Structure 1
Amino acid sequence: MRNRLATAAGALLAMAASVFTAPSAAQAADAGATAAPGFQVSDGRLLDANGNDFVMRGVNHAHTWYTATTPKALKDVKALGANTVRVVLATGDRWTKNDTADVAAVVAQCKENRLVCVLEAHDTTGYGEQAGAVSLDRAVDYWVSVQSALKGQEKYVVLNIGNEPHGNSGYTAWTSDTSAAINRLRTAGFTHTLMVDGPNWGQDWSFTMRDNAQRVFSADPARNTVFSIHMYGVFDTAAEVRDYLNRFVSARLPIVVGEFGHDHSDGNPDENAIMATTEELGLGYLGWSWSGNGGGVEYLDMAVGFDPSRLSSWGERIFNGANGIKATSREASVYAGGGGGDTKAPTAPGTPTASDVRSTSVTLGWAASTDDTAVTAYDVVRLDGTAETRVATAAVNSATVTGLTPSTAYSFAVYARDAAGNRSARSAPVAVTTAPAQSTGACAVTYRMNEWSGGFNADVTIRNTGTTAVKGWQLDFAFPGSQTVHSAWNAKVVQQGAQVRATPESWTETIPAGGSVSFGINASFTGTNGVPAAFTLNGAPCAKG
């Protein structure tokens, strides 16, 4: 059992810290669902009011304790690339109530800065364990009391009913409490997309939300609920991150990482895995938090003293790092271009063609899409009957899909996305059968590390144990944890998630029979570092050592 407590504004509080399917703008989750006038959920994906796929990329802002900073904070996070901000509000039970006028002002400021507003009621934090915390039923009372500020804002606002609504006591009531709160809001006339946090201080270590999410989603008459997991010390390995998120994706249930940090008192979350996995799966994330943390967790401030020119290491990581906000955020299409924005989707990509088919990977290429602005990304999906799973995202019209099973038939297709988030029709599929598994090839790899705090160099030597020279080579391996390559020498090295591929420079192109070539990488890591478990040279497994 792992609990998470932190402070903000100097007072003790619990910190608020699918399969990928082609969506239809008007499609309801079932015949009885009512189409939402703004954001809506379709086949496990969150769509904006124009029916375009929307992936949250943003931060949390502690508005209720720092109301005076909010106008500038929203402007600053937008300038750094965010498309969403999660705003802390108070019901008046534990902290001073943010009233109707204040909520209306926050929504107006979000819209002025072309940000999607996720509004959360914070007084529920740790209910059942935290003194003074209130129930989700009480949070519904609050939303009803400020409803006039929210009506008509469904295109711009998502309602996060209550922050971390159960601690580590009484959390088995989460399913019934959450379902009841959703139904009360729908009865009261709320047509917004609703967001619900997991129990156990948001981290759902008991898997109560994970295992009951379908029941809660089905209890929503509008089928318009998104689930939010908070990832701190419970999620300190890439395996835990990937398993949790993939279970929602496979079940076609919408999930976002509503809070996470780079460190925490309850453990060291794997922020690299969180950011890489959400990008791979096309899921949203909202980091905690912009500024104003206190009581020993000031390291979670992204901007020191609310100053965007003084980003902390955490701020630099989430805004400017790999899979960060600046690189992956796309503005909601209801804002793009002003007014209605760009709603024209790119043309469908050409039918993919397969090359370099190996036992566990395949490289796909396709004719590029065209768009009236610019195509920003391509999503490769694996088809399984009517289901789709996103397996790769690329900025250009080719991608390598890894992690496949030898001697297995697959079907792949591609979508294109533009800067406004519009998604094309799906390409025609291509059928691929992977090569048979190979026995160990005529090669051996030695991997030696020189490690320091948070970083390391690795010297990699490839020995040709065969009787003929190897001219032109490709070495593939997977990091065992959260490692990020920054530079390399004597080889060209590219990384996609945990997968790494090295190819030669002109002077290391040939490995003589009985000879070897060496190259090096400089990288950083979080958590535990280690040696890759396996290496393949031109698709053939190599011995280690």
Structure 2
Amino acid sequence: MRSPTAPRVAAVAAALLGLLLSLLSAATPSAHAAPTGFRVANGRLLEASGNDFVMRGVNHAHTWYADRISSLAHIKAKGANTVRVVLSSGDRWTRNDTADVANVVAQCKRNRLICVLEVHDTTGYGEQSGAVTLSRAADYWISVRSALAGQEDYVIVNIGNEPYGNTDYANWTADTKAAIQKLRGAGFNHTIMVDAPNWGQDWAFTMRDNAASVFAADPDANTVFSIHMYGVFDTAAEVSDYLNRFVAAELPIVVGEFGHDHSDGNPDENAILAVTRQLGLGYLGWSWSGNGGGVEYLDMVTNFDPNQLTPWGRRIFDGADGIAATSEEADIYSSGGGGDTTPPTAPGTPTASSVTSSSVTLTWAASTDATGVTGYDVVRVSGGTETVTTTTARTSVTLTGLAPSTSYTFAVYARDAAGNRSPRSGTAAVTTAPGGTSAGCGVTYRVTGEWPGGFQGEIVLRNTGSSAINGWTLRWTFPDSQRITNLWGGTATQAGSEVTVTSASYTAAIPAAGSVTLGFTATKGSANPAPGAFTLNGSACTAG
């Protein structure tokens, strides 16, 4: 969601319009195998039943408000049939891991909602600092695929939010094709949704004019296009013209975001609602609650309270052509095909064995489920937070990267094929053995970027000893109350100014004379002094 900073492109000349539409129609593929769940046919989004599905819903900023998962039930209670859920790949915000994605899907199904899941870290790529590519977003989807496999009836994968700003947006076409093909190559059979460039508003018509070739690049012919309508779409003529071009070309289109007002201009929400109803197209308003940065007026409810509808909330839920008047529940639910919504039983309390200074093996009694348990989430609880290791259907796992002489608490959840998560098992308390890998270490700490109230840092951890390090815990104390907000390369916990980082699976082993690099973002005060000392597995490290 962002306004364009370049001038609005003029409408395509009438002489070119006929040529454009003929090219779009000619490029529309046919004769593809039907997907197992949602699919596209003749420009329409269909359920597996063959019936049209028209999205009527809202966006929910889950990645920033993970504790507000109950919002899905509230959104359903207002009449929505779909929710678009904001997730993060971990590049700009805290990563939503496989277990969290599985839980979001299970909650959508429990509340009889269709889930459109999107990665927000791509927002404004090419113009927004820190934004990542669609290829990087596709890698994230592949990493959480176990939470999505088999969910094609319930989940639509929106590869990346607003994947280009107003810089280099001509690359959108090639990058979008490549990302779709990467997901198909990885085994994704879901309907894929792709957002427009220009902060989602496509004022340069890059998506509109290249949609047919992007659709043709999908070997499953199962891609839906998403336009975000803010200040660029401030007249009924602009709304109608844009959407009708896709309909005429038999290319599927939804309004993936829109509002009733915006700092870049006043979108015509009445036209958006009316035209989508007339054309039978879906829409997803932005957003349920939690907006900041000057666009708080886009909240539909105040402070996530479903009983405090804002003017925008009243308009989209209860107004003419709004959700309450036009939403129809997905056929997979309303036709008695709601699928499995019963969670597995709780697994047995895990027991610990083979406890070392840096690892432990956990074993538990299997959960039961009518359709079978497909995996388990092993939870390590520390200071109120949970670190999740996702396993297959096996009932034991060896966890590494633990700190010596440290107490941990573990529990287990089961997951079934429908994405339902079981109640939590009992907990097991484990204290690791003393010691840990003894090796020399060196640390280089540097600030790579700063902004008011925050900064990005990098830590290079070197093994200066003669033997490999296998599993490590790095500790330091911030001298000026800096606080970690996100870290990659390990798992961070912080108590006051004291930071503890345990290795990730891919950084746990450091060969002799080798190194690993950690990156992080953090808050800061007016000063930002570097930490004075670091310890690795309890031993002091040299600086520099």
Q: Give TM class, smaller chain.
A: 0.5 to 0.7
**Counterpart-to-counterpart distance in 2, 1:52 and 1:267:** 37
**Percent sequence identity over aligned pairs:** 73
The 3-state SS of whatever aligns with 2:334 is coil
Q: Which residue of 2 aligns with 1:192?
A: 190
Q: Which residue of 2 aligns with 1:356?
A: none
Q: Which residue of 1 aligns with 2:92?
A: 94
Counterpart among 217, 220, 238 of residue 219 in structure 1:
217
Q: Which residue of 2 aligns with 1:293?
A: 291
**Counterpart-to-counterpart distance in 1, 2:235 and 2:337:** 43
Q: Which residue of 1 aligns with 2:60?
A: 61
> 2:287 is aligned with what amino acid?
S
Please report how far the alpha carbon of residue 231 of structure 1 lies from its aligned counterpart in structure 2 after TM superposition.
Answer: 0.1
Q: Deviations over 1:458-493 (max 9, x none)?
A: xxxxxxxxxxxxxxxxxxxxxxxxxxxxxxxxxxxx
Please report how far the alpha carbon of residue 35 of structure 1 lies from its aligned counterpart in structure 2 after TM superposition.
Answer: 1.2
Counterpart among 299, 311, 330 of residue 313 in structure 1:
311
Please report how far the alpha carbon of residue 121 of structure 1 lies from its aligned counterpart in structure 2 after TM superposition.
Answer: 0.5
8 Å Cα contact 1:202-1:230 kept in structure 2: yes
**Counterpart-to-counterpart distance in 2, 1:63 and 1:49:** 27
8 Å Cα contact 1:238-1:273 kept in structure 2: yes
Matched, 1:233 2:241: no
Please report how far the alpha carbon of residue 296 of structure 1 lies from its aligned counterpart in structure 2 after TM superposition.
Answer: 1.4
Q: Deviations over 1:106-131 (max 9, x none)?
A: 00000000000000000000000000
> 2:67 is aligned with what amino acid?
A
Q: Deviations over 1:282-311 (max 9, x none)?
A: 000000000000121110000101011100
The 3-state SS of whatever aligns with 2:121 is helix
Compute the TM-score of the two structures, normalised by the length of structure 2.
0.57
Q: Which residue of 1 aligns with 2:350?
A: none
Structure 1: which 5+ runs fail to align? 6-28, 342-545
8 Å Cα contact 1:111-1:156 kept in structure 2: yes
**Counterpart-to-counterpart distance in 2, 1:141 and 1:330:** 33
8 Å Cα contact 2:165-2:199 kept in structure 1: yes
Q: Which residue of 2 aligns with 1:35?
A: 34
Q: Which residue of 1 aligns with 2:248?
A: 250
Count of aligned pairs between the two proteins: 316
Q: Which residue of 1 aligns with 2:44?
A: 45
8 Å Cα contact 1:39-1:192 kept in structure 2: yes
Q: Structure 2 matches for 1:437-476, cutoff 5 A?
A: none
The 3-state SS of whatever aligns with 1:286 is strand
The 3-state SS of whatever aligns with 2:131 is coil
**Counterpart-to-counterpart distance in 2, 1:107 and 1:340:** 13
The 3-state SS of whatever aligns with 2:212 is helix
Structure 2: which 5+ runs fail to align? 6-27, 340-544
8 Å Cα contact 1:34-1:221 kept in structure 2: no
8 Å Cα contact 2:29-2:215 kept in structure 1: no
**Counterpart-to-counterpart distance in 2, 1:32 and 1:323:** 35
- After TM superposition, the structure 1 stretch with the greater mean CA deviation from structure 2, 29-38 or 322-331, is 29-38
8 Å Cα contact 1:140-1:185 kept in structure 2: yes
Q: Which residue of 2 aligns with 1:173?
A: 171
The 3-state SS of whatever aligns with 1:323 is coil
Counterpart among 72, 75, 82 of residue 74 in structure 1:
72
Please report how far the alpha carbon of residue 337 of structure 1 lies from its aligned counterpart in structure 2 after TM superposition.
Answer: 4.6
Q: Structure 2 matches for 1:360-509, cutoff 5 A?
A: none
Please report how far the alpha carbon of residue 158 of structure 1 lies from its aligned counterpart in structure 2 after TM superposition.
Answer: 0.2
Q: Which residue of 2 aligns with 1:325?
A: 323
8 Å Cα contact 2:227-2:254 kept in structure 1: yes
**Counterpart-to-counterpart distance in 2, 1:142 and 1:264:** 31
Please report how far the alpha carbon of residue 4 of structure 1 lies from its aligned counterpart in structure 2 after TM superposition.
Answer: 5.5
Q: Which residue of 2 aligns with 1:84?
A: 82
8 Å Cα contact 2:4-2:166 kept in structure 1: no
**Counterpart-to-counterpart distance in 2, 1:175 and 1:330:** 33
**Counterpart-to-counterpart distance in 1, 2:276 and 2:77:** 22
Counterpart among 149, 159, 165 of residue 151 in structure 1:
149
**Counterpart-to-counterpart distance in 2, 1:133 and 1:296:** 21
8 Å Cα contact 2:56-2:80 kept in structure 1: yes
The 3-state SS of whatever aligns with 2:59 is strand
**Counterpart-to-counterpart distance in 1, 2:245 and 2:294:** 34
Please report how far the alpha carbon of residue 340 of structure 1 lies from its aligned counterpart in structure 2 after TM superposition.
Answer: 5.6
The 3-state SS of whatever aligns with 1:274 is helix
Two-structure CA RMSD over aligned residues (Å): 1.3
Please report how far the alpha carbon of residue 145 of structure 1 lies from its aligned counterpart in structure 2 after TM superposition.
Answer: 0.2
> 1:165 is aligned with what amino acid?
P
The 3-state SS of whatever aligns with 1:308 is coil
8 Å Cα contact 1:230-1:259 kept in structure 2: yes
**Counterpart-to-counterpart distance in 2, 1:31 and 1:269:** 36
Please report how far the alpha carbon of residue 51 of structure 1 lies from its aligned counterpart in structure 2 after TM superposition.
Answer: 1.1
8 Å Cα contact 2:289-2:300 kept in structure 1: yes
> 2:222 is aligned with what amino acid?
N
**Counterpart-to-counterpart distance in 2, 1:179 and 1:170:** 16
Q: Which residue of 2 aligns with 1:268?
A: 266
Compute the TM-score of the two structures, normalised by the length of structure 1.
0.57
Q: Deviations over 1:130-180 (max 9, x none)?
A: 000000000010000000000000000000000000000000000000000
Q: Which residue of 1 aligns with 2:3?
A: 3
The 3-state SS of whatever aligns with 1:124 is coil
**Counterpart-to-counterpart distance in 2, 1:221 and 1:253:** 15
Q: Which residue of 2 aligns with 1:399?
A: none
8 Å Cα contact 1:40-1:224 kept in structure 2: yes
8 Å Cα contact 1:289-1:301 kept in structure 2: yes
Matched, 1:110 2:108: yes
**Counterpart-to-counterpart distance in 1, 2:227 and 2:3:** 14
Q: Which residue of 2 aligns with 1:21?
A: none
Q: Deviations over 1:253-272 (max 9, x none)?
A: 00000000000011000000
Please report how far the alpha carbon of residue 56 of structure 1 lies from its aligned counterpart in structure 2 after TM superposition.
Answer: 0.1
Please report how far the alpha carbon of residue 338 of structure 1 lies from its aligned counterpart in structure 2 after TM superposition.
Answer: 3.4
Please report how far the alpha carbon of residue 229 of structure 1 lies from its aligned counterpart in structure 2 after TM superposition.
Answer: 0.1
**Counterpart-to-counterpart distance in 2, 1:30 and 1:194:** 16
Q: Deviations over 1:31-65 (max 9, x none)?
A: 54121110000000000121110000000000000
**Counterpart-to-counterpart distance in 2, 1:295 and 1:209:** 28
> 2:180 is aligned with what amino acid?
I
Please report how far the alpha carbon of residue 3 of structure 1 lies from its aligned counterpart in structure 2 after TM superposition.
Answer: 2.5
8 Å Cα contact 1:85-1:115 kept in structure 2: yes
8 Å Cα contact 1:75-1:113 kept in structure 2: yes
Please report how far the alpha carbon of residue 104 of structure 1 lies from its aligned counterpart in structure 2 after TM superposition.
Answer: 0.1
Please report how far the alpha carbon of residue 339 of structure 1 lies from its aligned counterpart in structure 2 after TM superposition.
Answer: 3.0
**Counterpart-to-counterpart distance in 2, 1:74 and 1:168:** 33
**Counterpart-to-counterpart distance in 1, 2:295 and 2:29:** 44
**Counterpart-to-counterpart distance in 2, 1:160 and 1:253:** 16
